[in-house]
Chains A and B, each alone.
Chain A
Amino acid sequence: MTGQTEVRQTELGGLESVWESGMEDVYAFYRESAPPQVALAAALVESAVDLQRLGGPAPDPPQLLLGDLCLARASRLLAETGEQALQVGFAQAVERVAAAASAGSRDPGLRDLLLAAITGAR
């Protein structure tokens, strides 16, 4: 687990299974372009959208709630960075993906949106 050493255990509380089911790899991807806390926030947002199957059939309630926790934790991590541009950029990314899913229109590509938010905040 390459990333777990820099991710505090408290940040994964309740989400250990999500981390082991692929979030670790997503974190490693974002870690190439962002500091640990921001990379983890991005990985959490991606995991939330996957868990909640936005744009697809509805998830089971436990998955929905895990996804909600991922989104909330990402917000808290971003709040701790104190970087307003990141907070706004990440929120707008989720808004766009959720709106597209709800309208049945083309997926705007969450990863690109998050990377743009990370780049734009620099």
Chain B
Amino acid sequence: MITGGRLEVTSDRPTQFVDISTRLQDEVTATGLVSGRVYLQSLHTTLGLAVNENEPLLLQDLQGTLERLAPRDVAYHHDDFTRRANIADDEPVNGHAHCRQLLLQPAFTLLVENGRVILGRWQSIFAVELDGPRQRSIALQLDGEFAPSGARAGACKNDRDRELVELELARQLRVDPESVQLPMRRLVEAGGKRLRPLLVMLSARLGPRQEPLRAAALAAAIELIHDATLVHDDYVDRAGIRRGRPTVAAAEGASQAVAVGDFYFAKATRVIAELGNQEVTSTVAAAMETICLSQMDDVRLRGLYPGDFDVYLRVVRGKTAALFAAACRAGAQLSDARPETAEALSQFGDLLGIAFQMADDLLDYSESSGKPRGQDIRERVLSLPLIYATENDRVGPRIRELLAGSVSEEDVGEIQTLVSASGALQRVGQDARDLATSAVSRLDAIDVDGIRPVLADLARSAVDRVR
């Protein structure tokens, strides 16, 4: 059997290594391919494909190599529009990008075993943008043995859950006043992994009262709470970009960011109250309070930067994991699941939330994350790679010295290099994977009605964003 489709990739820089490993694995999982091959083919003459290590400094080296072999600032015949026919008005000057594409691959094949794309420990799959920013398409064909349709029913149900959450989010936003709706839509439509709403939808399958539309309303409300905290956080952290788009504070101004965040805090609270489940209302309200207390804790602790592991764990458990845990617990409560099921899911969410944040910290060192590199250092945000690196005898003293004063852009670059050289990124990556495994083991004691593999996959994808 053969099936196929398109993988859409968005770049936001002229040259960019976009890691598509997780998305490709998601495609394989969704189709149920157990054993076989995935064929990838770039549909553009200035988009290449590559398998290599997602290590920030190496990606700089690879970019430098492309620049040296086909420099942007030399003359290319292709760019002499006076000698070409049928030139479009928006024809780009991109001879260098076409030449660079010769150095990469337009297509390749990857092997799949036991439903997983086979990759070596350090291998990641990249779409390499050579003339961005642009919207790109990669053609996929999957060929081999597929799981029987019964086994794929779970995956199809997940797809339906995702679709339901997206529809509910769109429906919720559509009725809001434009002044708050438009900035929030920009954030919501920019994507995000929707982990928290998916946790709600999955947990809401575990009790006797299964009502997908009510679960979707709760899931969308949880996502809006998350997004509202991001809108306020971005003002506090002076972040200009979120999910590759301007933040509300940067685009509409700080006052608007405050109002938009407040509106969606309140709206989400109302949507949840209207569900009429007292346990759910209390679970989410308690989580919101924990998040706010931890956010204040986080800002207060920036004077002790970079902090230590215990401080980090306390803040992350409150700022990030509390909403993961609440999403799991509230979903279970909405379906009238047994208390021990809700408790086990909450523990799963707590550990997964911490693991997720650890993986998120690594993105500050990644070229392909869509976030500006070094932002956590500039804004003195607690970050585990930095904590581990400062414990390193070789580079720790120098990092502390750099952090002691006002940190220049040059200092940010040096700190990033030192952290990468210390082995801290690998240590954090391993910690995140171990925690995700530990999270899944919390489900052993309860009957999770066949969704254990889905939760395990979700946990894996949450921490595998950077390899």
A, B co-complexed: yes
Q: Which of A's residues lie within 8 Å of B, judged by CB?
A: 14, 48, 52-59, 61-62, 64-69, 71-73, 75-76, 78-80, 82, 84, 87-88, 91-95, 97-99, 101-104
Proximity bits, B229-255, A CB within 8 Å = 1, else 0: 000100110000000000000000111
Q: Does B62 contact A (CB under 8 A)?
A: no
Residues 280-336 of B contacting A (Cβ, < 8 Å): 281-282, 285-286, 288-289, 291-293, 295-296, 299
Residues of B contacting A98 in the complex (Cβ-Cβ under 8 angstroms): 180, 259-260, 262-263, 266
Which of A66, A76, A88, A104 lies in contact with B286, CB distance below 8 A? A76
Taking CB atoms, residues of chain B closer than 8 Å to A57 are 255
Chain B residue at minimum C-beta to C-beta distance from A87: B273
Interchain CA distance A59-B274 in the complex, whole Å: 31
In the complex, the answer to whether B278 meets A14 with C-beta atoms within 8 Å is: no
- In the complex, chain A residues whose CB is within 8 Å of the CB of B278: 79, 82
Contact A65 B263 (CB under 8 A): no
A102 touches B291 (CB 8 A): no
Q: Which residue in B265, B282, B285 is a CB contact (below 8 Å) of A94?
A: B265
Contact indicator A58/B266 (Cβ below 8 Å): no
Report the minimal beta-carbon distance from B229 to chain A, rounded to whole angstroms.
8
Is the pair B295, A68 in contact by a Cβ cutoff of 8 Å?
A: yes
Contact present for B292 and A99 (CB under 8 Å)? no
CA distance A101 to B254 in the complex (A): 12
Contact (Cβ within 8 A) B177 A102: yes
Residue ID in chain B nearest A103 by CB atoms: B179
Q: Given the complex of chains A and B, what is the CA–CA distance between A79 and B263 in angstroms?
A: 18
Note all chain B residues with C-beta closer than 8 A to A48. Answer: 262
Q: List 30 A-B contacts (CB under 8 A).
A: A14-B293, A53-B255, A53-B258, A55-B259, A58-B253, A58-B254, A58-B255, A61-B235, A61-B299, A64-B258, A65-B296, A66-B296, A69-B293, A71-B262, A72-B285, A73-B289, A78-B285, A79-B285, A80-B282, A91-B266, A91-B269, A92-B270, A94-B263, A94-B265, A95-B270, A98-B263, A99-B180, A99-B259, A103-B178, A103-B179
Q: How far is the CB of A51 from chain B (nearest CB, A)?
A: 10
With contact pairs A76-B286, A79-B282, A87-B281 given, residues A58 and B257 touching in the complex (Cβ less than 8 Å): yes
A64 to B249, CA, bound (A): 13
Shortest Cβ distance from B283 into A: residue: A79
Interface residues of B (CB under 8 A from A): 176-180, 232, 235-236, 253-263, 265-267, 269-270, 273-274, 276, 278, 281-282, 285-286, 288-289, 291-293, 295-296, 299
Q: Which of B178, B253, B281, B291 touches A72 (beta carbons < 8 Å)?
A: B291
B259 and A101 form a contact (CB under 8 A)? yes
**Distance from B306 Cβ to chain A, minimum over Cβ atoms (Å):** 19
Q: B270 contacts which chain A residues (CB < 8 A)?
A: 87-88, 91-92, 95
B interface SS class: helix
A102 touches B179 (CB 8 A): yes
Please give 14 more A-B residue pairs, beta carbons under 8 A apart, in addition to A65-B295, A68-B232.
Answer: A58-B255, A58-B257, A59-B258, A64-B232, A69-B293, A69-B296, A76-B282, A76-B286, A82-B278, A84-B274, A87-B281, A91-B270, A98-B262, A99-B179
Given A72-B291, A91-B266, A95-B263: A58 and B273 interface contact (C-beta under 8 Å):
no
Residue among B236, B282, B292, B293 making CB contact with A61, cutoff 8 Å = B236
A-side contacts of B232, CB under 8 Å: 64-65, 68
For residue A67, which residues in chain B have a CB less than 8 angstroms away from its CB? 262
With contacts A54-B258, A57-B255, A98-B262 known, is A76 near B288, CB below 8 A? yes
Which residues in A have their C-beta under 8 angstroms from that of B296? Answer: 14, 62, 65-66, 69
Q: Is A71 in contact with B265, judged by CB distance below 8 angstroms?
A: yes
The reply to whether A91 and B273 contact each other, CB–CB distance below 8 Å, is yes
A108 nearest CB across to chain B (Å): 12
Residues of B within 8 A of A99 (CB): 176-177, 179-180, 259, 263
Q: Are A76 and B285 in contact (CB under 8 A)?
A: yes
Q: How far is the CA of A94 from the CA of B278 in the complex (A)?
A: 21
Q: Given the known inter-chain contacts A71-B262, A84-B273, A84-B276, please indicate yes or no for A56 contacting B255, CB distance below 8 A.
A: yes
A58 B262 Cβ-Cβ under 8 A: no
CB distance from A85 to the nearest CB of B (A): 9
Write the chain B residue with the least CB distance to A71. B265
Assess whether A65 is in contact with B236, with CB atoms less than 8 Å apart: yes
Docked-complex contact B281 and A79, CB < 8 angstroms:
yes
Which residue of chain A has the shortest Cβ distance to B228 in the bound complex? A68
Cross-interface CB contact of A101 among B176, B255, B299, cutoff 8 Å: B255
